[in-house]
């Protein structure tokens, strides 16, 4: 990314804080550390409010709620105050929101109204609405739907459970209510999800790539798997384990989405990377979807730590959960989980091998 690009991106991010925060910067108020960060346009450096460095003029300063937001706008951390090491302040309403989430989990099979939740938990309606979005990044309604969906999935794993029974026991008023939400959250309909994709036709191909042997698989909806392995036998065995009841059909892979995906992956290690031009058909929870979307927003040539991704999602203490979601990514490179690294810069934790991760980052100019 050129300096002009960085400058353009930085100037496109407006200051979101009022004069009080600027006053805290002038006073080097340590109590404000972790609440926000300020960046200096002329030096392209961001700091925490208590940084001992010389204060810039107000017109040179812009503010960011997280380190991830500052870095996404092209700023780098101050080596003097080390803002990336700042522990975020605990949200004052985190305890109240936790109480509400526990209530929604316990009553996942009920159609609860916000007023009833507020009365049962003793937490105000406005506190719930604002706190959920800030602390968890979703609305109370979205969280409740995810709990019903999780209960449905657990029911479906029980032997001899009928789909209709699982739908109603999970709190869905009808099968249509579940199916209208399932495509976005599951990637496949409930019946297909059950028993490893029973009744599903999956076409796949294997190919050579700069990262070794590669497998690409697709349903009639979109690409459902992109993986790397030591040989074709291992790749196909892993696909069979993932979709143990689906019908797998080997294809030549010289046309359609399979060919597009192979060309896309191969191009990422060259000078002219292609844009993904094929749809995806993957199963994911709401949280996994948010993590994968955050990964796709990391510019080529840059990386983010698991902790910074968690902060960007409004979940500063969920770095481990972010790592788990990243590790479950079924479509390598398309969802660029290789751009997630540890806070110390180490590259461990890539499900397809650290050497492949290193090659991808080197090709992108990020290592």
* Three-state SS sequence of the chain: CCHHHHHHHHHCCCCCCCHHHHHHHHCCCHHHECCEEEEECCCCEEECCCCCCCCCCHHHEEEECCHHHHHHCCCEECCCCCHHHCCCCCCCCHHHHHHHHHHHHHCCCCCCCHHHHHHHHCCCHHHHHHHHHHHHCCCHHHHHHHHHHHHHHHHHCCCCCCHHHHHHHCCCCCHHHHHHHHHHHHCCCHHHHCCCCCCCEEEEEEEEECCEEEEEEECCCCEEEEEEECCHHHHHHHHHHHCCCCEEEECCCCCHHHHHHHHHHHHCCCCCCCCCCCCECCCCCHHHHHHHHHHHCCCCCCCEEHHHHHHHCCCCCCHHHHHHHHHCCCEECCECHHHEECCCCCCCCCCCCHHHHHHHHHHHCCC
> Mean of the pLDDT values across residues 229-252?
90
Of the listed 25, 40, 47, 223, which one is catalytic?
Answer: 47
For 308, left (φ over 0), alpha (ψ -120 to 50), or beta? alpha
Give me the pLDDT at residue 166, please.
64
Of the listed 337, 340, 341, 361, which one is catalytic?
Answer: 337
> Mean of the pLDDT values across residues 225-250?
91
In this predicted structure, the answer to whether residue 198 has a pLDDT above a threshold of 70 is no
Task: State the chain's mean pLDDT as an integer.
Answer: 79
Give the angle subtended at the CA of 343 by the CAs of 306 and 210, to the nearest 5°: 75
pLDDT tens figures, 76-121: 999 888 888 876 555 677 778 888 888 887 887 777 788 888 898 8
On whether 205 is known to bind a ligand per the annotation, the reply is: no
In this predicted structure, the answer to whether residue 266 has a pLDDT above a threshold of 70 is yes
Give me the pLDDT at residue 308, please.
92
Give me the pLDDT at residue 176, please.
47
Give me the pLDDT at residue 153, please.
62
- The region of weakest confidence among 101-110, 301-310, 311-320 is 101-110
**What percent of the chain is predicted at pLDDT more than 70?**
78
**What does pTM read for this prediction?**
0.51
Give me the pLDDT at residue 265, please.
94
- The region of weakest confidence among 94-98, 174-178, 236-240, 268-272 is 174-178
> Mean of the pLDDT values across residues 278-291?
80
Band (pLDDT 50/70/90 cuts) for residue 129 is: confident
In this predicted structure, the answer to whether residue 283 has a pLDDT above a threshold of 50 is yes
> Mean of the pLDDT values across residues 32-60?
88
> Mean of the pLDDT values across residues 234-243?
90
- The region of weakest confidence among 128-137, 253-262, 275-284, 318-327 is 128-137
Give me the pLDDT at residue 104, please.
83
Give me the pLDDT at residue 328, please.
87
Give me the pLDDT at residue 164, please.
63
Give me the pLDDT at residue 158, please.
64
Tell me which of 154 and 207 has the higher pLDDT: 207
> Mean of the pLDDT values across residues 157-186?
54
The reply to whether 224 belongs to the active site is no
On whether 224 is known to bind a ligand per the annotation, the reply is: no
Band (pLDDT 50/70/90 cuts) for residue 314 is: confident
On whether 47 is known to bind a ligand per the annotation, the reply is: yes
> Mean of the pLDDT values across residues 263-271?
91
pLDDT tens figures, 330-345: 999 999 999 999 888 8
In this predicted structure, the answer to whether residue 355 has a pLDDT above a threshold of 80 is yes
Tell me which of 178 and 78 has the higher pLDDT: 78
The reply to whether 337 belongs to the active site is yes
């Amino acid at each position: 990314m050129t300096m002009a690009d960085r400058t353009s991106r930085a100037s496109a991010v407006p200051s979101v804080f009022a004069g009080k925060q600027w006053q805290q910067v002038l006073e080097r108020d340590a109590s404000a550390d972790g609440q926000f960060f300020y960046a200096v346009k002329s030096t392209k450096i961001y700091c925490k409010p208590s940084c001992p460095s010389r204060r810039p003029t107000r017109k040179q300063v812009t503010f960011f709620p997280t380190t991830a937001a500052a870095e996404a706008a092209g700023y780098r951390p101050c080596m003097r105050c080390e803002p990336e090491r700042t522990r975020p302040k605990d949200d004052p309403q985190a305890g109240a929101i936790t109480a509400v989430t526990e209530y929604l989990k316990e009553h996942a099979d009920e159609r609860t109204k916000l007023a009833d939740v507020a009365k049962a938990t003793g937490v105000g309606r406005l506190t719930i609405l604002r706190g959920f979005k800030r602390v968890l990044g979703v609305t109370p309604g979205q969280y409740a739907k995810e709990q019903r969906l999780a209960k449905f999935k657990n029911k479906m794993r029980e032997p001899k459970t009928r789909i209709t029974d699982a739908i109603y026991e999970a709190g869905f008023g009808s099968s249509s209510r579940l199916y209208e939400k399932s495509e976005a959250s599951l990637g496949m309909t409930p019946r297909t999800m059950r028993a490893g994709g029973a009744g599903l036709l999956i076409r796949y191909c294997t190919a050579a790539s700069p990262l070794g042997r590669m497998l690409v698989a697709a349903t009639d909806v979109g690409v459902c798997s992109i993986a790397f392995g030591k040989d074709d036998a291992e790749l196909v065995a892993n696909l069979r384990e993932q979709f143990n009841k689906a019908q797998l059909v080997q294809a030549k892979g010289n046309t359609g989405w399979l060919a597009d995906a192979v060309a896309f992956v191969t191009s990422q290690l060259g000078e002219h990377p292609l844009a993904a031009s094929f749809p995806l058909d993957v199963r994911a929870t709401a949280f996994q979807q948010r993590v994968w979307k955050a990964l796709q927003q990391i510019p080529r040539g840059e990386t983010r730590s698991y902790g910074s991704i968690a902060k960007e999602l409004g979940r500063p203490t969920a770095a481990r959960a972010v790592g788990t979601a990243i590790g479950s990514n079924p479509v390598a490179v398309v969802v660029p989980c290789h751009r997630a690294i540890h806070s110390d810069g180490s590259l461990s934790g890539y499900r397809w091998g650290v050497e492949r991760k290193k090659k991808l980052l080197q090709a992108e100019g990020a290592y």
